[in-house]
Amino acid sequence: MTEPILKIRNIESFYGPIMAIRGVSLDVHPGRIVSILGANGAGKTTLMKTVSGVMDPEKGTITFDGEDIQGSEPHKVVQKGIVHVPEGREVFPLLTVDENLSLGAYTSPDKAQVERDRELVFSYFPILAERRDQEAGTLSGGQQQMLAIGRGLMANPQIMLLDEPSLGLSPILVQEIFAILKRLNTEQNMTMMLVEQNARAALELAHDGYVMEVGRIVMDGTADELMKSEDIQNFYLGVQEEGARENRRWKRKKTWR
Amino acid sequence: MDASTLPAQTVINGVTFNATPGQRPVLVDGTTTIPGLFQKRCADLGNRTAHREKDFGIWKSYSWSDYWNHAKWIGLALRKLGLQRGEVVSILSEDRKEWAWFDMGIQCVGGIASGVYTTDSASQLSYLINDSDSRFLIVEDEEQLDKYLQIEGEVPSLLNVIILEDEGLHDLDHHRCLMIEELYDIGRQAERDEPGAFDTEIAKANPADTALLIYTSGTTGMPKGAMLSNENIMAGIEAGAHRLSSYETDEQLCFLPLCHILERDVSIYFPLASKSTVNFAESPETVFANLQEVSPATFTAVPRVWEKIYSQVLIMAQEATPLGRIAFGMALKTGMKRASYLVENKPVPGGLNAQFWFWDRLVLRNLRRMLGMDRLRRGGTGAAPISPELLKWYWAIGVPLVEGYGMTETAGIATINTPDENRVGTIGKAVPGIDVRIGQDGEIQVKGLNVFQGYWRNNEKTAETFTGDGWLRTGDVGRMDDDGYVTITGRLKDIIITAGGKNITPAEIESRLKFSHYISDAVIIGDRRKYLTALIMIDQENVEKYAQDHKVPFSNFASLCAAPEVRALIADEVKAVNTEFARVEQIKDFRLIDVLLTAEDDELTATMKLKRGLVEKKHANLIEDMYT
């Protein structure tokens, strides 16, 4: 395989005295979608924030395109081509759709490129073109998520970090957004790192996957391998094991093998 | 009993024992059986706290009266449901107050209590129920009940299954299953119908009656049920009390499986004599937090637990402020110097004592408080070998940790060190009333009233376990020094004969390997082979920490084991161990077991030791790889 575009090595991140990431190493190869699964509090979002520079790691290195970026300021990280689409959408509610998109291209000096990017966003999310003059706060949840992804695309990134794009969306909208992400990946060769609780959708979309638990990676492999793992099926995909009775409530212990 | 024929009595910490241990009848406060002692304690202590258990985050107390009443209802109800004297009841549950209640209830009506590990599979459960011919099965919850439901058709002798927790089982409708509350109701009714029946049953107990059945993990073949009589246990209590101080004000923490003789003695039978209070840990995962809350007076654990606490302290120290690290380093250095005197029973020089006092005030006392060891009078370790360095480290931080030795077949006790009479690296001296000798082939052999009655329905195995002159063969090889301190060097049956014809005791090499913080267990291979090799299980926490500190990338356990740096680390540990052994005893190659084994895996015993036979079988490909 090619050299990974993003290499994370032995990262440790803290919230005050609390160690949220306890030594994580992972690789993202160009053109691939890597999904990170895990329960609440596993450290997925913290990992994203550490990559995008919102948080600084205590230890470890993050190499992007051959260059160490750990501890860089977030805007420097964006300029290098990493864009973080945060959890919960976080669009600017009082600005219009257009203004939100323009802010995504804030660091770009090339006006013509910005306009090309805007057209690209509109081609993937036609609804945003329709609502371009509407205040972002008045959009539906799904449209806001599209706007957040579109705003990320405006920075013309090499890799997108997507934090729970399915959060709070109806199943049909999740399908729609994930289909667009898939197209972005195949048509634009966009590399993505995706954090998800919706394990099934994430594994169907992704090429590779990692599973995090309390700040550590407990399992990794291609998406197909993960789908086949008994632990993943049981704890993330809701497959019921054959039990002695119906409605078994207890879960066996995870082994991650 | 005629008072004039009784052995001379002595009082130890408020409890009367035979002045000369090892004599019949074995008397504890005038009683000769476990039910008798239990009855006396409950009558005398009434509302005093016997047990504590955490319920929704709050420690709740249960008195000796609760102990008595519930045991009574259990006993009477089981009798009502068809339990005969001399029949077995199996208990499949984690540690909890009901475990003790059932143990006593069953024994008081003449039943035999047999524990089953919660990590055992359904097929193992089926074997145990059938082998012991159990009449009743006590299951903790839904998870354990499911094991029974899988094997329902295979265990025809079973009359009823009693469930302790009804969570998720409200809709259960099964003709053999009943909830604990229903059992109590049957017991209450039986008491009204037949007042005094429970006491009558207790009076029928004899010292020679089998009280419990303990299945030994058996690294080869199927588990065997060791029969322990009332007298065996009373002798164990007597021997323990003569060497180890315990007071009625003592707090203890119960967390190792009660199916194992060690925890059973320490948390159920010894407290019957000493009147101490037993606190049940919430779960195996919360032991360290519970330890801190309870801050026990005595704490008995297996080496793995002591190793874990040690690693935690080291990690804590490494992550402290620079000043904190320096202070901890100085304190530990002083502690170590002092420990060198203490473990050799030499007087500590005054200056050093003063220094220690200072560092103790400043650092070590806080450390002990953080660990929940600030009130600890004595720590105990057994069931597996422990590193002498680790023992010394605990003495250095002000925790008197001593090693003991016993096995199911000796009612859990045979030799012990005490804080006053301690020789690090040995398993101590024979306990009072119990004789230990070294046999012809170097085997440690034991004789005393604590030695078990034999294996349940297996006279052949029983006969193999005793020598011609009636001593118990422990299967362990060792030596005894002039003062009577015993050192174990290995297991008799594990002796490896290499292709060159050299006899090697693998346990000696294995325990040296285990003393490394990076190695949690190891199995030496080499029987009928050209040279020795090893299968090694790494200590996940410490190796992960090493990898983290040395920037070794890894994702999961398998990739950690595959990292060349980790292999090099273990290779260095192996090399260091090799220097201590003769050439033929050196390990030429090794492989890491790259799956994270859990207690549910066959390869591990309940105390998390590797089972040689199964490891060799399951990882045959790794072994062959080392010889091609």
What is the distance in angstroms between the Cα of B589 and the nearest Cα belonging to chain A? 26
Alpha helical stretches, state H, B194-260: 197-203, 230-243
pLDDT tens-digit series, residues B226-252 = 999 999 999 999 999 999 999 999 999
**In chain A, what residues touch B558 (CB-CB under 8 Å)?**
257
Whether B595 and A257 lie within 8 Å, measured CB to CB: yes
Instruction: Over range B570-588, report the average pLDDT.
Output: 92
Structural contact between residues B92 and B116, judged by C-beta atoms closer than 8 angstroms: yes
Neighbours of B283 (CB within 10 A): 12
Structural contact between residues B524 and B506, judged by C-beta atoms closer than 8 angstroms: yes
Domain residue limits at B541: 496-626
Among B37-46, B132-141, B467-476, B522-531, the least confident range: B522-531
What is the distance in angstroms between the Cα of A16 and the nearest Cα belonging to chain B? 13
Answer yes or no: is B15 within a domain. no
Whether A210 and B595 lie within 8 Å, measured CB to CB: no
pLDDT at residue A243, rounded to an integer = 62
Whether B77 and chain A come into contact, CB under 8 Å, resolves to: no
Answer yes or no: is B617 within a domain. yes
pLDDT confidence band for A1 (50 / 70 / 90) = low
Whether residue B261 sits in one domain with residue B368: no
Q: Mutation target for A interface from B140, B174, B318, B556: give the one with most A CBs within 10 A.
A: B556
Q: Which of A9, A22, A255 sits opposite B553 (nearest CB)?
A: A9
Whether residue B305 sits in one domain with residue B272: no
Q: Which of A60, A210, A245 sits opposite B555 (nearest CB)?
A: A210
Whether B547 and A61 lie within 8 Å, measured CB to CB: no
Neighbours of A176 (CB within 10 A): 17
Instruction: Over range B509-523, report the average pLDDT.
Output: 89
ipTM above 0.95 for this complex: no
Q: What residues have CB less than 8 Å from A211, skipping those under 6 apart?
A: A36, A37, A38, A217, A218, A219, A220, A226, A232, A236, A256
Among A35-39, A158-162, B168-172, the least confident range: B168-172
**In chain A, what residues touch B149 (CB-CB under 8 Å)?**
244-245
> What is the rounded (10 degree) CA torsion for B261, B267, B270, B271?
-160
Whether B316 and chain A come into contact, CB under 8 Å, resolves to: no
Answer yes or no: is B6 within a domain. no
Whether residue B456 sits in one domain with residue B427: yes
Whether B283 and chain A come into contact, CB under 8 Å, resolves to: no
Instruction: Over range B465-490, report the average pLDDT.
Output: 93
Q: Mutation target for A interface from B148, B548, B601: give the one with most A CBs within 10 A.
A: B548
**In chain A, what residues touch B543 (CB-CB under 8 Å)?**
none
Q: Which of B146, B557, B558 sits opposite A248 (nearest CB)?
A: B146
Number of compact structural domains in chain B: 3
Task: Pick the last residue of a domain from B286, B311, B334.
Answer: B286
**In chain A, what residues touch B546 (CB-CB under 8 Å)?**
none
Task: Pick the last residue of a domain from B491, B520, B550.
Answer: B491
- Mean residue pLDDT across chain B: 92
Confidence check: pLDDT of A121 > 90: yes
**Whole-angstrom distance, CA of residue B539 vs CA of residue B566:** 11
Whether residue B500 sits in one domain with residue B429: no
Whether B314 and chain A come into contact, CB under 8 Å, resolves to: no
A interface with B, Cβ–Cβ < 8 A, is 9-10, 12, 22-23, 25-26, 59-61, 210, 216-220, 243-245, 247-250, 252-253, 255-257
Whether residue B276 sits in one domain with residue B161: yes
pLDDT confidence band for B556 (50 / 70 / 90) = confident
Instruction: Over range B567-596, report the average pLDDT.
Output: 93
Answer yes or no: is A133 within a domain. no
pLDDT confidence band for B613 (50 / 70 / 90) = confident
**Whole-angstrom distance, CA of residue B574 vs CA of residue B585:** 12
Whether residue B515 sits in one domain with residue B406: no
Share of chain A above pLDDT 70, in %: 94
**In chain B, what residues touch A248 (CB-CB under 8 Å)?**
142, 146
Confidence check: pLDDT of B318 > 90: no
Q: What residues have CB less than 8 Å from B208, skipping those under 6 apart?
A: B229, B230, B231
pLDDT tens-digit series, residues A167-191 = 888 999 999 999 999 999 999 999 9
Whether A220 and B167 lie within 8 Å, measured CB to CB: no
Residue whose entry in the numeric block shows the structure tokens 């059938």: B130
Whether residue B437 sits in one domain with residue B339: yes
Confidence check: pLDDT of B512 > 60: yes
Among A98-107, B1-10, B191-200, the least confident range: B1-10
Share of chain B above pLDDT 70, in %: 98
**In chain A, what residues touch B544 (CB-CB under 8 Å)?**
23, 216
Whether residue B451 sits in one domain with residue B524: no
Confidence check: pLDDT of B464 > 60: yes
pLDDT confidence band for B68 (50 / 70 / 90) = very high
Residue whose entry in the numeric block shows the structure tokens 């320096």: B326
**DSSP H or E stretch at residue B558:** helix B557-562
Under 8 Å CB pairs connecting chains A and B tally to 62
Answer yes or no: is B223 within a domain. no
Whether B146 and A245 lie within 8 Å, measured CB to CB: yes
Number of compact structural domains in chain A: 1
B393 alpha-carbon distance from chain centroid: 22
**In chain A, what residues touch B595 (CB-CB under 8 Å)?**
257
What is the distance in angstroms between the Cα of B221 and the nearest Cα belonging to chain A? 26
pLDDT confidence band for A108 (50 / 70 / 90) = confident
Instruction: Over range A113-128, report the average pLDDT.
Output: 94
Q: What is the CATH number of the domain that holds B501?
A: 3.30.300.30
What is the distance in angstroms between the Cα of B63 and the nearest Cα belonging to chain A? 32
What is the distance in angstroms between the Cα of B558 and the nearest Cα belonging to chain A? 9
Whether B596 and A256 lie within 8 Å, measured CB to CB: yes
**In chain A, what residues touch B553 (CB-CB under 8 Å)?**
9-10, 25
Whether residue B518 sits in one domain with residue B456: no
Whether B548 and A256 lie within 8 Å, measured CB to CB: no
- Mean residue pLDDT across chain A: 90
**Whole-angstrom distance, CA of residue A105 vs CA of residue A114:** 6
Confidence check: pLDDT of B599 > 90: no
**Whole-angstrom distance, CA of residue B261 vs CA of residue B233:** 10
Q: Which of B150, B556, B595 sits opposite A219 (nearest CB)?
A: B556
**In chain B, what residues touch A62 (CB-CB under 8 Å)?**
none
Answer yes or no: is A183 within a domain. no
Of all residues in chain B, the one with the smallest CA distance to A213 is B556
Whether B555 and A217 lie within 8 Å, measured CB to CB: yes
Of all residues in chain B, the one with the smallest CA distance to A219 is B556
Whether A217 and B596 lie within 8 Å, measured CB to CB: no
Whether B551 and A60 lie within 8 Å, measured CB to CB: yes
Whether residue B303 sits in one domain with residue B271: no
Whether A255 and B596 lie within 8 Å, measured CB to CB: yes
Confidence check: pLDDT of A237 > 90: no
Answer yes or no: is A202 within a domain. yes
Beta bridge partners of B17: B10, B28
Whether residue B135 sits in one domain with residue B178: yes
Q: Which of A10, A216, A250 sits opposite B551 (nearest CB)?
A: A10
- Helix, strand, coil percentages (3-state) for chain A, rounded to 5, are 35, 25, 35
Residues B97-133 as b/e (b if ≥16 CB within 10 A, e otherwise) read bbbbbbbbbbbbbbbbbbbbbbbbebebbbbbbebbe
pLDDT at residue B2, rounded to an integer = 52
Whether B600 and chain A come into contact, CB under 8 Å, resolves to: yes
Instruction: Over range B475-483, report the average pLDDT.
Output: 93
pLDDT at residue B4, rounded to an integer = 59
pLDDT tens-digit series, residues A58-104 = 989 999 999 999 999 999 999 999 999 999 888 999 999 999 999 99
Confidence check: pLDDT of B383 > 60: yes
Of all residues in chain B, the one with the smallest CA distance to A217 is B555
pLDDT confidence band for B312 (50 / 70 / 90) = confident
Tokens of A210: 């990692």
What is the distance in angstroms between the Cα of B90 and the nearest Cα belonging to chain A? 20
For every residue of B1-67, DSSP letters joined together read --GGGSPPEEEETTEEEESSTTPSS--BTTB-SHHHHHHHHHHHHTTSEEEEEEETTEEEEEEHHHH
Q: What is the CATH number of the domain that holds A220?
A: 3.40.50.300
Confidence check: pLDDT of B281 > 70: yes
Whether B556 and chain A come into contact, CB under 8 Å, resolves to: yes
Answer yes or no: is A96 within a domain. no
Answer yes or no: is B18 within a domain. no
Q: What is the CATH number of the domain that holds B130?
A: 3.40.50.12780
What is the distance in angstroms between the Cα of B44 and the nearest Cα belonging to chain A? 42
Task: Pick the last residue of a domain from B264, B286, B308.
Answer: B286
> What is the rounded (10 degree) CA torsion for A29, A33, A34, A40?
150
Confidence check: pLDDT of B498 > 90: no
pLDDT at residue B252, rounded to an integer = 97
pLDDT tens-digit series, residues B426-449 = 999 999 999 999 998 899 999 999
Whether residue B552 sits in one domain with residue B450: no
Domain residue limits at A48: 1-81+193-240
**In chain A, what residues touch B600 (CB-CB under 8 Å)?**
253, 255
pLDDT confidence band for A230 (50 / 70 / 90) = confident
Answer yes or no: is B483 within a domain. yes
Answer yes or no: is A61 within a domain. yes
Answer yes or no: is B550 within a domain. yes
Pick from B468, B474, B457: nearest CA to B409: B474
What is the distance in angstroms between the Cα of B119 and the nearest Cα belonging to chain A? 11
Q: Which of A12, A220, A257 sits opposite B555 (nearest CB)?
A: A220
For the full predicted model, state whether its pTM sits above 0.90.
Answer: no
Whether A255 and B553 lie within 8 Å, measured CB to CB: no
Share of chain B above pLDDT 90, in %: 75
Answer yes or no: is B228 within a domain. no
What is the distance in angstroms between the Cα of B598 and the nearest Cα belonging to chain A? 8
Confidence check: pLDDT of A247 > 70: no
Answer yes or no: is A63 within a domain. yes
pLDDT at residue A244, rounded to an integer = 60
Alpha helical stretches, state H, B152-301: 180-193, 197-203, 230-243, 261-264, 270-274, 287-294
